[in-house]
Structure 1
Amino acid sequence: MSADDAPARLGDDRAQRSVVRRRAAFAVLTLVVLAGTVWYGVSELQRARAEQSAPSQVDVADGILDAPHVLFRSTAPGDLYGHAAAVALDDLSGPREVTSVVCDRVSSDGTTTVCLRTDRGVVTTYEAEVLDAAWRTTATWPLPGIPSRARLSPDGLVATTAFVTGHSYSQTGFSTETTVHRVDGTDVSGNLEDFTLLADGERVAPVDRNVWGVTFVDARHFYATVQSRSLGHTWLVRGDLEERTLVTVLDGVECPSLSPDGTRLAFKHDAAPAGSATAHWTPAVLDLASLEVTVLDAEERNVDDQITWLDDATLLYGLARDDEPETTDVWSLPADGTAPPEVAIPQAWSPSVVR
């Protein structure tokens, strides 16, 4: 090496050592960040487990399930979170009887209970479970995605809706699968999207059809929602399990729920301004004889739920708390809209009335 090459070689060595130092510093920083991330993840997991195992601060009692009651999913923080529970029909804010069964959605007639569940593990799965009056499993079947809606008919039929993709009815591009089974697990309908859709007597075959929100009339007939974004419709339909048809009744009706006297449907009405990117659902009631709609604007919040009838005069639905999104309450609202909503069952979701 000549004298003229020495400075250049020295500069190269210094540059290489600088690169090595920077790489070493980056490696150390990466390890520190990784260690911090692992520590935070472990800490959060431990905190979450501690919260889940802490006693839920609710009053409990026995014997409630043996009398008229409202069954629901408990959202009281702690060890009872997610469990199916019940309060007395004449004391909705009173003590609750809690079962060992964990559900995302629940529906019951007192003799049979349907529970939709998310089973989290290495691979998360979803299922529908049918239980008898002693809370023993009598049937199960898989769901294709996140549980959304469940309805049990007095005739032994079970309607379930699950999201195949997407996480909310307010999102574009979501896909649902709605089916009807017997309580023994036998598939009655297949995917309701495959039924013949008739609008004004004409067959309609939208490629982006979605069906959800079944409410039963009898062992053959039901109401539900059918939406086609490409056609710009969200129809109330009357379904026929024998004819395998869905006949449109009215546009703009989502998640219908038949009143105990069979004369009205409660549903969620999109009250958002025209052209709005997101929906704002307000409870409404449809008179089936006149097709007259009464929007219950005494409720100003966004009610994204399938409403339940407490009786012929009162509606029930779930709402998340603003400051505790994991905690929901079941609210009541007069079906004629003459009074504001009130909390009916605190720390609850998915109510089902059992008389």
Structure 2
Amino acid sequence: MTPGWRTAVLATAVLVVGTGSATYALGELHRSRDLRSRAPSVATATTAPDGSVLVFRHTGLDQEYGVVAEVSLADPDGPRTFTGVSCDRVYAVAAGASCLRTKRGVVTTFEQTDLDPDWRTVADHGLPGIPSRTRLSEDGSLVASTTFVNGDSYLTTGFSTRTEIHHFGSDAGGARSDQDSDGTSYGDLEQFTLILDGKESAPTDRNIWGVTFAADDNTFYATVATGGRTYLARGDLAKHTLTTIADQVECPSLSPDGTRIAFKERVDHDSGTWWTPAVLDLATGQRTVLSGESRNVDDQIAWLDDDTLLYGLTRADEAGVTDVWSLATDPAATPRLFLEQAWSPAVIRQPQGASP
């Protein structure tokens, strides 16, 4: 296992849950419950698991609610090691992690934190709104965050997002109109040049969200919305450009082999607009809708491996609790429960030949 991901520390819980595109307080539902006195409803461990791990946000209604945990990828139902870090949304790679959180007080604020492999804070960044998405590049050198600065859902009329990219561990944070002079931040992606359907465009209604990085630390993909349509755009950090390459793609996630994009596709439903998992082949443009999942998947999908997706779903009968489900990329596949009481999964694989 990669050194550093073994450290386990005592955890504290926060009463905030991020589900789908919104972050909300548990509020009156748990006001009369003292979660601090409730033991975790899952098996726990005092040391991090060996080998490849799954990092996620624990959503059991207990004293570890909202705390990031690790579990062995070979045994996802096994004991969980709690990190002591509370997040609304989390993502991790071997080199570090990104945590988006709501800080409640007299004035509620929002924060993105860069963390090292031992879950120690490296840098904090103020966020302009409600946490929604975060991703790191494969080597951990780049961090992306998306927040809502108006509205709290991708279905909210007139919602507005802010998506920024910065170098991991830098002290720069907040909105930027361009890359900082010291190279620590690329700032708000809405300031990048947008190439829409082959032509340079500067729509005033554009929104950008859901970054996923390629392995070269320059190329990334994101959703661009304008004129009532959503697009998959390929970003170039060096050139400060976003170029649309497909439409009807939201919250992209690049496969481990770099050849496909998993995303959520908007579909009409009896209850209104829902999202269904889908996969786009970047070379051929072939789109595969995974209709075996009939529920509303409002999440930025993660890849378990090159053929399997992971995503979170809320429980209809237990407010605040979510589960992580898996779904093969075969169109005939049906979803299966992968990890109970969990949200915001990230896979950290032990390199081949590495010692545990």
Could you say whether these structures have the same fold, taking a TM-score greater than 0.5 normalized by the shorter chain as the test?
Answer: yes
Who is 2:200 aligned against?
Answer: 203
Who is 1:223 aligned against?
Answer: 221
Distance in 2 of aligned mates of 1:199 and 1:43: 45
CA RMSD of superposed structures (Å): 1.8
Who is 2:242 aligned against?
Answer: 246
Q: 1:233 to 1:43 in 2, by over 3 A?
A: closer
**Structure 1 SS opposite 2:185:** coil
Distance in 2 of aligned mates of 1:44 and 1:106: 24
Q: 1:51 to 1:107 in 2, by over 3 A?
A: same
| Counterpart pick for 1:184 among 150, 169, 193 | 169
* TM-aligned CA deviation for residue 277 of structure 1: 9.3
1:147-188 C-alpha deviation (Å, 9 max, x unpaired): 000001123100000110101001111111000011112442
Q: Conserved in 2, the CA contact under 8 Å of 1:52 and 1:81?
A: no
**Structure 2 SS opposite 1:190:** strand
Work out whether 1:311 is the aligned partner of 2:305.
yes
Work out whether 1:57 is the aligned partner of 2:41.
yes
The 5 Å alignment of 1:1-355 reads 47-48=32-33, 50-155=34-139, 156-185=141-170, 186=172, 187-217=184-214, 218-228=216-226, 231-272=227-268, 278-355=272-349
Higher mean displacement: 126-135 or 283-292: 126-135
* TM-score of the pair, normalised by structure 2: 0.83
Q: Conserved in 1, the CA contact under 8 Å of 2:299 and 2:312?
A: yes
* TM-aligned CA deviation for residue 56 of structure 1: 2.0
Q: Conserved in 1, the CA contact under 8 Å of 2:101 and 2:110?
A: yes
Distance in 2 of aligned mates of 1:85 and 1:44: 24
**Amino acid paired to 2:233:** V
Q: Conserved in 2, the CA contact under 8 Å of 1:52 and 1:77?
A: no
Task: Report how many aligned residue pairs link the two structures.
Answer: 309
* TM-aligned CA deviation for residue 65 of structure 1: 4.6
Q: Conserved in 1, the CA contact under 8 Å of 2:50 and 2:72?
A: no
Q: Conserved in 2, the CA contact under 8 Å of 1:109 and 1:353?
A: yes
Distance in 1 of aligned mates of 2:118 and 2:331: 38
Distance in 2 of aligned mates of 1:214 and 1:305: 13
* TM-score of the pair, normalised by structure 1: 0.84
Higher relative contact order (CA 8 A, sep 6+): 2
Unaligned runs of 5+ in 2: 1-26, 173-183, 350-356
Unaligned runs of 5+ in 1: 1-41
**The structure with more helix, counted as a fraction of residues:** 1
Distance in 1 of aligned mates of 2:156 and 2:100: 22
Higher mean displacement: 183-192 or 97-106: 183-192
Higher mean displacement: 160-169 or 85-94: 85-94
**The structure with more strand, counted as a fraction of residues:** 2
Among all aligned residue pairs of Structure 1 and Structure 2, give the percentage whose two residues are the same amino acid: 53
* TM-aligned CA deviation for residue 52 of structure 1: 4.5
